[in-house]
Structure 1
Amino acid sequence: MADTAWEALRGKPLRFFASLWPLRTLTYVLSGAVIGALCLVWIPVALVLGAVVAAPALTRPLAALERRRVALLGGPPLPDPHRRPDRPGLIAWLRFRYREAVTWRELAYLGLHATVLLALDVAAVVILAAPILALGSVNLTASRTATDPAAGVSSDGLDVVVGVLVAVLAGLALLVVGFLAIYAVPLAAIAHAKVARLLLAPGPGETVRMLTRSRARLVDAFEVERRRIERDLHDGAQQRLLSLGMMLVGAQLEFDDRPEAARALINQAAEEAKTALAELRELIRGIHPHVLTDLGLPAAVAELADRASVPVTVALDLPRRLPSTVESTAYFVVAEALSNAAKHATATQISVTGGLTSAHLGIEVRDDGVGGADPGGGTGLAGLADRVDAHGGTLTLSSPPGGPTVLRLELPCA
């Protein structure tokens, strides 16, 4: 299966038209025409209401919608290249936004969307509909002529033959034009999405800054994790081993004079050793589970589902092993999502679905909980988003109040 509409159209056109790609491109073009008309109306209103100064704030939702809409043609939504202002307040926010190049690229794109791209979308729809309307007009004219002798058809047989021949040739011409017209919508959609990716996606400098910030946050997160592991070892396994050593020393001292007491201490030491081993295994599993290394992502996610306190259905279609970094990132995203759904969402059912295309791994975790999840509320998703971002992927969360909560992960795995 091709990753994008352009790859599918360029590869095997007949298979392209037998798939869902034509419907997705038509949806993209039709929705683009609607949003283009909205831009045509809203941009002047935004300029007037915002007195030009607040126009970026009023037009930014449309740009955010366009970044998500390109996913209709394959691939993940475009990441938001906007940075967070250094200072609070509306004035500081506006000043910061006006200094960003992406702000002006967004305004340029919305201006194109309201004019050139709107005309492109409308033209593609008209070209697609023209052969159908023309064929209907020809059929309507022919039916009227057949039922109405006064419509101008001569009784002469030669005129009838010529009329039939002209009708057949017109029908063939319409079929050829119609076959060519079906390419209009996919090509218009691909061209529109190309412009959107060119203007709305992060530029090279912005990508470097985003990766730098993500990696800086990852370094901080790894430092926190290192300290947690050190604390767990010090407070858990180390104390267990110290207690084990003291029990063995006591058993050694009691062995000659009080064998029964020594035997009791040895039994306690054996139990302490089992407990310490279990803690070490749990700690290692939190760092990197063995099942993920040995059997891969589907088996590791299935183990997570078995240990979950909420019923979880898993449907992962992965025909081959993925790079270890991809598997590890996807595993911890799913683990965090399952943990959040059980602890915070009061969910009763969770589903984990996903699949692999030639270049991307896509996973969706959906629960029927109460919704209202906030990535900045300490759920651990912000750190996972940085980890995903550092690998060039995207992590999107949809959690309206009342649910459902849907977490989508896209990771490049080429």
Structure 2
Amino acid sequence: MEMAEALRRAPLRFVVSTWPLRSATYVLTGVVSGLLALAWVPVALVVGGYVLMPVLTSPLPAAERRRIALLGLPALPDPHRIPARAGLVAWLRARHTDAATWRELAYLVLHGSVLLAVNVVTLLLGSAPALVYLSGVANLTTSQPGGPASATPATRADAADGQVFALVGGAVLAMLGTAVLLSYATALAALAHGALARLLLSPGDEARVRSLTSSRARLIDAFESERRRIERDLHDGAQQRLLRLGMTLVTAQLELDHDPQAARPLLAQAADEARAALAELRELVHGIHPRVLTDLGLRAAVADLAAGLAVPVTVAMDVPKRLPAPVESTAYFVVAEALTNAARHAAATEITVTGAATADTLTIVVGDNGKGGADPARGTGLTGLADRVDALAGTITLTSPPGGPTALRLELPCSE
């Protein structure tokens, strides 16, 4: 998680970053949603009973899966499987037999009790300097304003000036202390809360198995279609050129026995056909796996993609070493598809590609300032790529509200 990494690497710089604001917002909204869970879960149990309770409580975990975006993480996917048939009865049967439903209920119970108490205590603990200061101010204002009866007016004026100085200085110290304590306290609470939410609200092993099975089935179909395309391209293109090359060489060989001068144009024609066939084969292989990716790696391959677009592309890739070949290939084709969509369909005037590889994860974000509204279901070409990402246990998230901007985030495990 990026917040945990920022806190670990630079704990002092963490206080002046945007992470404390995000974590405080997550904890504050957690108090609100925790109170909702505390109030609504018993009502849903009484009103809906065992049968209808999943219907009545489902909006709360759905909101929690989206709320985790405050921590800089992509919204969690829906872990529930799609019912085999339409209708409320089939939906209820699927929900009751789905382990994710009971993980959600366990999360709501914890959220409305333990997590709610932790969030409230965290806010009170972080606000301790401000509360102590306000308590001191309240005690000061309720004390005798005139001081001892024997005090002279000058002494009283000096005392008043001292009190003003103490109030201003105390306010500054209280604000600084509150900011620092809130930053660290809410960050730790948000990290713990977010980890529990990911554990209980994300798809479980059974959902990942279903997704992987369907992804592999789609990959098999895609590979079969790609194999037929390559065979068709070879048959209609390079194979025909090679046949013509062979016929030209045979004709030239026959002419060499009778008229060597007449064979010269045929040999030149054969050389041209050989170069054309070689170029076509190279183009075909480039579509399967680009040579620059094989020779120079992902960063150079993405820069080569960016240079070939008419739209200005800013590339900032921090990938210091070569990654496993399947990871590089999958990341390359995801970026290529995202850049193509941004240039052709989004009417973007600026595209950015940022990426970094840690010890075990490659993260790439492709963003553009286009019109947005991208939807993989409408044929953006990302569905097949998402299957390749699933096969590597990675995630791909597309955020594209109408009006833009669009951001595609790819995460791939890259450990050897």
TM-score w.r.t. the length of structure 2 is 0.80
Query: Displacement of 1:117 after TM fit?
Result: 2.5
SS at match of 1:370: coil
Q: Aligned match of 1:105 in 103, 106, 111?
A: 103
**How do residues 6-405 of structure 1 correspond to structure 2 at under 5 angstroms?**
6=4, 13-14=11-12, 16-17=14-15, 19-39=17-37, 56=54, 59-70=57-68, 72-73=70-71, 77-139=75-137, 141-142=139-140, 148-149=145-146, 183-257=184-258, 261-405=262-406
Query: Displacement of 1:360 after TM fit?
Result: 2.3
CA distance in 2, matches of 1:266, 1:401: 59
Indicate if the aligned counterparts of 2:372 and 2:402 stay in contact, CA closer than 8 A: yes
SS at match of 1:363: strand
Query: Displacement of 1:364 after TM fit?
Result: 1.4
What is the one-letter code of the residue matched to 2:204?
G
Query: Displacement of 1:207 after TM fit?
Result: 3.0
Query: Displacement of 1:199 after TM fit?
Result: 1.2
SS at match of 1:81: coil
C-alpha distance after superposition, 1:255-302 (max 9, x if no partner): 455556533333332222222212211221122212112211111011
Indicate if the aligned counterparts of 2:357 and 2:363 stay in contact, CA closer than 8 A: yes
Return 5+ residue gaps in structure 1 as ranges. none
The alignment of Structure 1 onto Structure 2 pairs a total of residues equal to: 401
Return 5+ residue gaps in structure 2 as ranges. none
Indicate if the aligned counterparts of 1:81 and 1:210 stay in contact, CA closer than 8 A: no
Indicate if the aligned counterparts of 1:76 and 1:394 stay in contact, CA closer than 8 A: no
C-alpha distance after superposition, 1:87-126 (max 9, x if no partner): 3455433432332110222233234334442333233223
Query: Displacement of 1:177 after TM fit?
Result: 8.9
C-alpha distance after superposition, 1:311-342 (max 9, x if no partner): 32222222333222221111010011122223
CA distance in 2, matches of 1:88, 1:35: 31
SS at match of 1:376: helix
Change in Cα spacing, 1:154 to 1:274, as seen in structure 2 (3 Å) is farther
CA distance in 2, matches of 1:307, 1:62: 46
Indicate if the aligned counterparts of 1:145 and 1:153 stay in contact, CA closer than 8 A: no
Change in Cα spacing, 1:24 to 1:372, as seen in structure 2 (3 Å) is closer
C-alpha distance after superposition, 1:335-359 (max 9, x if no partner): 1112222333343432222223443
Query: Displacement of 1:218 after TM fit?
Result: 2.3
Query: Displacement of 1:362 after TM fit?
Result: 1.7
CA distance in 1, matches of 2:293, 2:149: 79
What is the one-letter code of the residue matched to 1:273?
A
CA distance in 1, matches of 2:354, 2:150: 67
**Aligned Cα root-mean-square deviation (Å):** 3.8
Change in Cα spacing, 1:351 to 1:15, as seen in structure 2 (3 Å) is closer
CA distance in 1, matches of 2:5, 2:309: 40
Change in Cα spacing, 1:68 to 1:251, as seen in structure 2 (3 Å) is farther
Change in Cα spacing, 1:262 to 1:198, as seen in structure 2 (3 Å) is same
Change in Cα spacing, 1:357 to 1:28, as seen in structure 2 (3 Å) is farther
Indicate if the aligned counterparts of 1:76 and 1:410 stay in contact, CA closer than 8 A: no
Moved more, 6-15 or 312-321: 6-15
Moved more, 93-102 or 259-268: 259-268
CA distance in 2, matches of 1:154, 1:323: 85
What is the one-letter code of the residue matched to 1:95?
R
SS at match of 2:28: helix
CA distance in 1, matches of 2:251, 2:280: 24
Change in Cα spacing, 1:271 to 1:192, as seen in structure 2 (3 Å) is same
Indicate if the aligned counterparts of 2:20 and 2:182 stay in contact, CA closer than 8 A: no
Moved more, 72-81 or 368-377: 72-81
C-alpha distance after superposition, 1:210-252 (max 9, x if no partner): 3333233323322222222222222221122112111222222
What is the one-letter code of the residue matched to 1:385?
A
What is the one-letter code of the residue matched to 1:263?
R
Query: Displacement of 1:129 after TM fit?
Result: 1.9
Indicate if the aligned counterparts of 2:65 and 2:75 stay in contact, CA closer than 8 A: yes
